[in-house]
């Protein structure tokens, strides 16, 4: 994947970098909007 590919990634996608494995293109999860995480995280003190 080139820098141009990274810069042109669609909204809602992200690169997952783990150890020595090749990068994976995955769907991004916005933790405060995702039902699995709602209620498990502290409130954002900046809001």
pLDDT tens-digit series, residues 1-47: 788 988 888 888 999 999 999 989 999 887 777 788 777 877 777 77
Q: What pLDDT is recorded for position 20?
A: 92
Does 35 map to a domain? yes
Does 15 map to a domain? yes
Does 5 map to a domain? yes
Does 23 map to a domain? yes
Does 47 map to a domain? no
Does 7 map to a domain? yes
Listed in sequence order, the residues at least 6 apart from 31 whose beta carbon sits closer than 8 Å to its beta carbon are 37, 41
State the total domains in the chain: 1
CA atoms within 13 A on the CB side of 27: 4
Whether the CB-CB separation of 25 and 13 falls below 8 Å is answered with yes
Name the residue range of residue 2's domain.
1-42
Whether the CB-CB separation of 28 and 15 falls below 8 Å is answered with no
């Amino acid at each position: 994947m080139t820098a141009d590919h990274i810069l042109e990634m669609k909204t809602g996608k992200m690169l997952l970098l783990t150890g020595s494995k090749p990068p994976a293109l995955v769907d991004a999860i916005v933790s405060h909007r995702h039902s699995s995480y709602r209620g498990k995280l502290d409130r954002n003190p900046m809001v």
